[in-house]
Amino acid sequence: MKWEKLSAIRLIEELKSGSITSEEISAYFLDKIKKVDRILNSFITLNEKAVEEAKKVDKNGRKGRLAGLPIAVKDNITTKGIRTTCASRILENYIPPYDAEVISRIKREGGIIIGKTNMDEFAMGSSGENSGFGPTKNPRDLNRVPGGSSSGSAAAIAAGLAPLALGSDTGGSIRAPASFTGIVGLKPTYGAVSRFGLIAYANSLEQIGPMGKNVLDTAYLYSIIYGEDEKDSTSLPSPPLSIERISDFEAKGVKVAVLTDLVSRVDEPVKKMFERGINYISEIGAEVNEVKLEGIDLALPAYYVIACSEASSNLARYDGVRFGVDCRTNLNWRDAYKEVRKLFGKEVKVRIMLGAYTLSAGFFEEYYVKAVKVRRRIRDGLKKLLKKYDYVAIPTMPVLPWRIGEKLDDPLYVYLSDALTVPANLAGVPAISLPIGLADGLPVGIQFIADEFEEEKLFGLAKRFEEKAGELEVVDL
C-alpha cells in the first residue's frame, strides 16, 4: 500500500488501531527517502535509528497523539544526537546535545524524527538554492525551485517522503515553499510556539510552524507543538485549539479583506488563480471587500533591514572558538577567524554585511531605527484592519516557481518575491498558505492572515476553502 497517499491523521488512526505498526511505516518512509531523495535532495541527514525508535513505540503500545508517526524536521531545529547543520558547512559536523522544545513535544506524543531537511543556509533565502549541501528541487517540476527557506520540508511532503514536517518562518520561509510545492504551511503568531532550540537568524521575526498535505494534518501537528514554554522568554500562553471545531467551522458571514496594493503587484497567472480563490471564498459564504493599507509598500525594505541586522549580530558567534568548526591552528586570531568565516555561503555573507552596515555608527538611526518605526506602523495598520475584518487574503507568492539557477544573478527579483509574506512577520500575526490549484502546471497558493492567537479561526476558513479548491495529490516520482 502507498501510505504516502493517506493523510497524516488517517495514518495515526491506522497506527492506533494496530492495522500497521510504527516500525513498518518508519521503514517504509525511510526506504522511500533513500530511493527518491537522490533526485530531490530534500534531506541533509537521515535518522538511521528511526526504525529502532519506532520499535520502542510499538512495544509501549503506540501511546501518544502521534502514535509512532514519522516527522521530517528542518535542519535549523536542534535534535539531540542527530546532526543539525542549518545547511551550512560551518556547522557541518554539529550534533546537538539537546532537543528543541518542539522536538521534545513531538517525542512525548510518540512521534519519530525521520530526518533533517535541506534549507537555504541559516534560513536566508526564498528559493532553496542557497544550501551548503546543494539545492532542493521542486517535486512538481524538477527543473524549478521549491521555494525557501524551508525547501526540504515542503518538497518532502509534496513528494510523499514524510506525512508531516516542521519548518521555520522568518519572512515567509514556510509559506513560500508551501505555495511553490502545493502543500499547506502555517506561520504561527509570534510567541505561540517555543523558539527554544531554533538556531537563530532573526529572533524578533522567526517562528517554528507545521507543514502538511492538507489543512487538518497541519492543524493537528500545530496542536502538538504550540503553547507556552518557560525556556523561551518570547513564548506566550495560547487559547486551546480543537480539531473538531476546525472541522465544523462555518464561514458564512465572515468578513475577508483583500489588500489591493499587494495583489496589483503579482504576475498575471498568479492573479488569475487568486481571482479564482476569491470566488471560492465568496461561494463558501464569506463577505469579501477590497481595501488598501497605508505603508504596506514599506514592509519589504523594513523587513530586510531588521532581519539582516539581527542576522549580523546572531552569526557573529560562529568564530571557530565558541561555535562552528574548530579553528585551533597556528594562525593568528584574525587569520583563523577569516578562514572560519569563509565557510559561510554567498547569501549569508551578503546579509551579514548588510546588517553590519545598517547597525554601524552613522547609519543606525538612518536605517535600523526607521525600519523599526515602519514595522510598528505596519503592525498597527494590520491590527486595526483585523478589528474590522476577520481575515486578510492575498496571494502567497507574486510569481510562479522559477527555474533552478535562473535568478542567481538577480537577487533583487528573489528579495521582491517576499513582498506578500513579510507583513505577517513584521506584525507578529499568524498566516497560512494553501493551494488554490495549478497555473501552467505549477502550484499557486493563497494566504490568509488573522489576528494574534486566532490560529483555530485561520485553520477553519482554510478548511472550508480547501473543500472548494481541493488538495493537491502527492507527486509520485
**40 CB-near residues (< 8 Å, 6+ apart):** 136, 137, 139, 142, 155, 156, 159, 161, 477
State the catalytic residue, choosing from 104, 150, 173, 309: 173
Spatial separation of the C-alpha atoms in residues 401 and 452, rounded to whole Å:
30
Let me know if 127 is a catalytic residue: no
The residue whose grid cell reads 493517506 is 6
Eight-class DSSP state of 465 = H
Q: Give the active site residue among 127, 149, 153, 238.
A: 149
β partners of residue 239: none
| Amino acid type, 426 | L
- 149 as an active site residue: the answer is yes
Neighbouring residues of 330: CB distance < 8 A, sequence distance ≥ 6: none
DSSP string spanning 174-209?
THHHHHHHT-EEEEPPTTSB--TTBPPS-TTT-EEE
Helix then strand count (H, E) for the chain reads: 17, 11
On the question of a cis peptide bond just before residue 149, with omega within 30 degrees of 0, the verdict is yes
Q: Using an 8 Å Cβ cutoff, are 68 and 18 in contact?
A: no
CB atoms within 10 A of CB 45: 18
Return the residue matching grid coordinates 527543473.
143
**CA atoms within 13 A of residue 10's CA, in its CB half-sphere:** 10
- In this structure, the number of other CB atoms found within 10 A of the CB of residue 122 comes to 31
Catalytic residue among 74, 107, 116, 137: 74
| Residues in CB range of 128: below 8 A, 6 or more apart | 118, 119, 120, 135, 136, 145, 146, 147, 148, 149, 151, 152, 155, 177
Please identify which residue in the block is written with the cell numbers 519572512.
171
34 Cβ contact list (under 8 Å, min separation 6): 46
Point out the residues that are catalytic: 74, 149, 173
